[in-house]
Amino acid sequence: MSSPWDAATVNLVSKELSPGVFAVLPDDVNEKDHVATTAGFIIGERAVLVIESMVNGDLASQLIGLVRRETSKPIRFLVNTSYHGDHAYGNFVFPDTAVVIQHPATKRYMDENFEDDRKFMLDLMGEGKGIERVQSRSADIIVPDMITVDLGGRLVEVRHFGFAQTPGDLVIWSPDAKVLWVGNMIQAPSPALPWLLEGRHRDTITTLAAVKAFLPEDATIIPGHGKPMRPADIEFPLAYLRELDAAVEKAVAEGQSIEDTLKTVEMSRFGEYSLFDWAHNTVNVPAAYSNLKKDAERA
Ligand SMILES: [Zn+2]
């Protein structure tokens, strides 16, 4: 598929959720069920932490400009929720004084696969979208589990809850503002569905359930490509993944081929998502089928 958004025309806006805690959202976030990458920043007494760096230098500069509109304090920390280019390609634009924080699996992927990944992103996003000029910049600090960052009078937690969409998914939690950035493990609120690009849907279920259990009910979640949502909204992707798991498991047990499975596992009640056909039929059903078939063969 081609990208559902154009990296050359994204206009980012910031929204203050709590004093000094800002979500950064594409300006069409309320009009579509899937938009360009979201971001955010948190301002302490001494320093600023930025979440995500966007897909190219221009969008990273737009994001830095939104920070500069609110504060002149230095950006000391930059966190990527995954290695996906639209979340981490803008790292190179940030000042040298900012330390980049990633999960070790994200750093490893970026260090080993950057040029292949750039080719993939060029294919997906198109030429002339600033991806040609991106330079790889991976982590200075790796977080396998959890760290607390002190911005001066304000703590921010960076946590790994487990595999959700990639092996290196990180979330960023502001305990005082009760805001959680989750990146692509949740694309957007309902009707958006998970994208199981690396399979392992049962791990995704476990991780999403753990994230939901961690959060107070009145927390705000910033998903990777959509508008802010509540913890209760995680039930929607969970319901989809559990139904997918049960339906594909049944098809595998009956010995169905992948072609027959695609016909029987329609799940059309989730079909309202604008990217349903791609996400469900091209990515998720084949991913679940291949995982569950391997499990069945091993048993
Ligand atoms: Zn993304």
CA of 92 to the centre of ligand 1 (A): 18
CA of 42 to the centre of ligand 1 (A): 20
Per-residue pLDDT at 1 exceeds 80: no
pLDDT tens readout for residues 38-53 = 999 999 999 999 999 9
- Predicted TM-score (pTM) above 0.85: yes
CA of 170 to the centre of ligand 1 (A): 13
CA of 6 to the centre of ligand 1 (A): 13
* Average pLDDT estimate for 100-108: 98
Distance CA 199, CA 220 (A): 27
Left if phi > 0, otherwise alpha if psi is -120 to 50, otherwise beta: which for 52? left
Per-residue pLDDT at 188 exceeds 80: yes
In CATH, the number for domain 12-231 is: 3.60.15.10
Amino acid code (one letter) for 158: V
How would residue 90 be classed by pLDDT, with cut points 50, 70 and 90?
very high
What pLDDT is recorded for position 133? Answer: 97
What pLDDT is recorded for position 2? Answer: 77
CA of 264 to the centre of ligand 1 (A): 29
* Average pLDDT estimate for 168-190: 98
CA of 297 to the centre of ligand 1 (A): 33
Distance CA 142, CA 134 (A): 22
What pLDDT is recorded for position 127? Answer: 95
Distance CA 149, CA 202 (A): 31
CA of 188 to the centre of ligand 1 (A): 10
CA of 5 to the centre of ligand 1 (A): 11
Per-residue pLDDT at 67 exceeds 80: yes
